[in-house]
Structure 1
């Protein structure tokens, strides 16, 4: 049924459940798996929601986030390949997580997006928002949300 599945991960324990499910789905359907994460850009100004940092400090944080993201998707990719799943690790560098997930799924010609919901409620959801909710409401592809 599915030929190419994108699983979005942030490395959290809840996200790990989505990764495990996506690996098993890909194995079951003989589908390719795209393991995707976003290396968030650090805010660079007050308008971005943070204190202003020195350029060198900002670049160092940015580089560390990129390295951590690469290591995360590479490790998941190795795990998937060890279970017989063809895998393509992919990292985006953005401050727009939901939009990056949707764009990556489209660019990679995926037929399904798998991701976790952190289940924020009340004020936390209003203040932080929900990347999962944004993907659900804006994606033209089917989205499997795991909790």
Structure 2
């Protein structure tokens, strides 16, 4: 079941990336599967040349500080470029 969910998420991300690329937007997708030091790794690598970061979040309502994941909160706090949060 976990494998199917992972496969669906990857397929969905790739379709979104293809649509953006077809419009001439250079983009890269990363799906976080487990707790990792994503923010520092991403900001040191792919984010070095980006103008905007768009991240999905599955939390619903409530206060941002208590419901956003730690990687998302860290990215908002540390990113040198704007971060857009999209509810998934």
Same fold (TM over 0.5): yes
CA distance in 2, matches of 1:143, 1:93: 23
Residues 135 and 85 of structure 1, relative CA distance in 2, 3 Å threshold: closer
- What is the correspondence of 1:63-78 to structure 2 with a 5 Å cutoff? 63-78=3-18
Q: Deviations over 1:5-35 (max 9, x none)?
A: xxxxxxxxxxxxxxxxxxxxxxxxxxxxxxx
Which piece of structure 1 moves more, 104-113 or 77-86?
A: 104-113
CA distance in 2, matches of 1:130, 1:120: 10
Higher RCO, 1 vs 2 (CA within 8 Å, ≥6 residues apart): 1
Per the TM alignment, residue 140 of structure 1 is displaced from its structure 2 partner at its CA by 4.1
> 2:29 is paired with a residue of what secondary structure?
strand
RMSD, matched Cα: 3.3
Q: How many residues align?
A: 81
Q: Is 2:28 the counterpart of 1:88? A: yes
Alignment TM-score, normalising by the size of structure 2: 0.57
The gaps in structure 1 that reach 5 residues or longer are 1-59
Q: Which one has the bigger strand percentage?
A: 1
Q: Deviations over 1:50-71 (max 9, x none)?
A: xxxxxxxxxx41x123212211
Residue in 1 that maps onto 2:44: 106
Per the TM alignment, residue 133 of structure 1 is displaced from its structure 2 partner at its CA by 3.1
CA contact (8 A) 1:105 1:113 kept: no
